Amino acid sequence: MGFEGIVCSACSQPLPPEIWPAAEGLHCLSCNARILVKVFPALTLSNIVSVPQPVGAEQEASCFFHPQNRAATPCEECGRFLCSLCTLEIPGKTLCPICFEANLRGRKIQNLEASRTLHDSVALALATLPALLFWPVLLTAPLTLFWIVRHWNSPGSILPRTRARFYLAGVIALSQIGFIVVLIVAILRVRR
Amino acid sequence: MTGSQYRRLTGKNRTWTAFSQAWLGDDHLLIVNSMRLVERYQRFAFSDIQAIIVSEGGRRTFWQPLLLLVCVLGGVTARSTFGRGFFAVIGVFALASVILDIARGPRCSCVLQTAVSRERLLAVSRMRTARAFLAAIVPAIEAVQGSVAAEDLAAQVAMMPQTTLAASAPQPPAIDRPLGYTPEVLFGLLMLDSLLVFVALRSTVGVAFGLLPTIYFAEFLIGILALVQSRRRSTTSVAVLIAAFLCIVIDPFALSGISAWPGLVAVFQQASSGTPPWNMQIAASTTTLLLAVGWRTAMAITGLAVCHFERTARAH
């Protein structure tokens, strides 16, 4: 994708460069919506893709994955030599594709994670929603406690978050179990 | 609390089942799209961000004023204390949401552009939020990319080969989205309504009358939906839709309901005061009901025909 210019976020029509410097109060020429445009130097940089260099001499180190390419850098985990095509740079590390994949699968690099399950919210939902139908709590209350124990140390949100939902779900689940026990005892006494 | 490298940039822009929020990281912007039980993350490195564009406007509050109007109408016509109280409580909530919407200031849409993507930032939905967002993120981006005046950037871009500019860039083919069937459903419902009235007049089955209030309410809601979705329709279709909706709105007050509407209200009051009768009777004259049958049938046939011709024309 080459440079395609800046477009209005309301009507997707191009905004000519002449009007970018205008302060607040600028209006789109197409839809007349009031717009704020902030441009950065990255706009003028071309999308240059680094091209690997071919191996020049016999003794020259070559890429582990592409023997015809000259090695540019080693992987910081496995030490394999890599050409510029195979070098994957993440914050603080340079990895080969295999180590990158392993890190991704093992959730070792927080900056690469695309999603996370919020186990505390799951536990809270499990403790509260089935209670609306009452009888499912016979199953879901113990399940909630299991879920809390199972996922107490599982990675949660990458954002600041307390364990309040876990505690609340635990209290609700224990209350439900207590209520069920009392109900069963009461039913048994009435029958006697 | 879990230690975090992120600083909150915006509040949560909520929908019924999810929310979106922007956070500032050490070297990137993090957009969190939460579906309550799962969070999805999008990261934009400061070095990749080319531009941020904010446009004022966008989706306006529609349902709250409509609900308020319905509550006012319902409150005026309701005679029982329960009915008035019910509409008053709902109306207060609708009014509060309208006031809150106005207090939050004008809406906006914000797009973040990189070399390979344009991402709509749902978390930035108000101009006030957008200004605070820009005030926080611009220094962070400029710390990475450096600060260049917009005039200089505009001059550099103006000197770039014109062949790469958007105006001459090949545009993707237009997506031909299929038309929805909401107008057909509306016109079909009008036909069903007229048929029910006709059956009620010609037979002793009173249940047909009992169904009328429900069908009228459905006509009203589907009419609104059809009008909202009518942007890609032909002018004729839109005109017929508007005419049908106007008839639906006017019907209980003028077209056929001068005598039917009081009867309908009486039926509702009877229903709210005790066990609703299964066979409701609307106190309207035969002429009035025939008028209701007539306009609905005419509008339904016209509407279905227009929709059919529109689909045929699009297919060719």
Q: How many Cα neighbours within 13 Å face the side chain of A85?
A: 13
The Cα B22–Cα B31 span in angstroms is 5
A43, A121, A147, A161: which to substitute to probe chain B, counting the most B Cβ within 10 Å?
A: A43
Which two tokens mark B304? 């279905």
Torsion sign (Cα): A144, A149, A151, A152: positive
Chain B residues in contact with A4 by the CB 8 A cut-off are 164-166, 169
- Tell me what the mean pLDDT of segment B151-162 comes to: 74
In sequence order, what are the beta bridge partners of A167?
A: none
Residues 6+ apart with CB under 8 A from A147: A119, A122, A123, A126, A169
Q: What is the mean pLDDT of chain B?
A: 79
Q: Do B53 and A44 touch (CB under 8 A)?
A: no
Query: Can you tell me the ipTM of this complex?
Result: 0.78
Buried b (16+ CB within 10 A) or exposed e, B83-97: beebbeebbeebbeb
pLDDT(A36) > 90: no
Helix (H/G/I), strand (E/B), else coil: B45: strand
- A49-113 under CATH 1.10.3470, yes or no: no
pLDDT tens column, B109-132: 899 998 888 889 999 989 999 999
Q: Do A158 and B4 touch (CB under 8 A)?
A: yes
More confident of the two residues B9 and B291:
B9
pLDDT tens column, A72-128: 889 888 888 988 888 888 777 888 888 888 887 777 777 778 889 999 999 999 999
Chain B residues in contact with A120 by the CB 8 A cut-off are none
The pLDDT assigned to A44 comes to 80
Total beta-carbon pairs less than 8 A apart between chain A and chain B: 169
Whether residue B67 contacts residue B52, with contact meaning beta carbons closer than 8 Å, is answered with no
Q: Do B53 and A116 touch (CB under 8 A)?
A: no
A49 interface with B at CB cutoff 8 Å: no
Q: How many CB atoms lie within 10 A of CB B19?
A: 17
pLDDT tens column, B264-303: 666 666 666 655 555 555 556 677 777 778 888 898 999 9
pLDDT tens column, A154-190: 888 888 888 999 999 999 999 999 999 999 999 999 8
Residues 6+ apart with CB under 8 A from B59: B107
pLDDT(B60) > 80: no
**Treating both helix axes as pointing N-terminal to C-terminal, what angle do B207-228 and B257-273 enclose, rounded to 10 degrees?**
110
Which ranges in B16-149 belong to alpha helices (H)? 63-77, 81-103, 127-145
Q: In chain B, which residue's Cα lies nearest the Cα of A114? A: B41
The Cα A42–Cα B51 span in angstroms is 8
The pLDDT assigned to B232 comes to 77
Whether residue A7 contacts residue A15, with contact meaning beta carbons closer than 8 Å, is answered with yes
Indicate the helix (H) or strand (E) that contains A168: helix A164-191
